[in-house]
């Protein structure tokens, strides 16, 4: 089994997120946060989007994050499982 480390990151502005060779990446929109799209996919309130690679593969993607104006705050949590 591969040795891994977990990175937990927070984003509050539109930008690109590099997967940086992760084995899995999860985007989480907290309940009450402003609407956010990840690569054109709209996350519903409180919803998460998880992308996993096949065993032995690494994600080298770049993900576009776009926030939309709402009553809440811009808030997106990203969790990456990285090789160590």
What pLDDT is stored for residue 55 in this prediction?
86
Measured CA to CA, the distance from residue 31 to residue 28 in angstroms comes to 9
Those residues with Cβ within 8 angstroms of residue 50's Cβ, 6 or more apart along the chain or in another chain = 24, 25, 26, 27
pTM of the model: 0.94
Contact 30, 46 (CB under 8 A): yes
Token pair listed for 5: 């480390």
Measured CA to CA, the distance from residue 14 to residue 53 in angstroms comes to 25
Residue-wise pLDDT tens digits, 2-61: 799 999 999 999 999 999 999 999 999 999 999 999 999 999 999 999 999 998 899 999
Nearest to 37 by CA among 4, 14, 3, 54: 14
């Amino acid at each position: 089994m591969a040795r891994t480390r977990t990175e937990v990151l927070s984003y509050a502005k539109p930008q690109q997120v590099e997967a940086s060779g992760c084995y899995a990446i999860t985007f989480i929109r907290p309940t009450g946060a402003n609407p956010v799209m990840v690569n054109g996919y709209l996350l519903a309130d409180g919803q998460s989007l998880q992308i996993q690679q096949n065993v032995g593969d690494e994600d080298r993607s770049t993900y576009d994050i776009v926030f939309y104006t709402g009553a809440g705050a811009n808030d997106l949590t990203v969790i990456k499982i990285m090789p160590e």
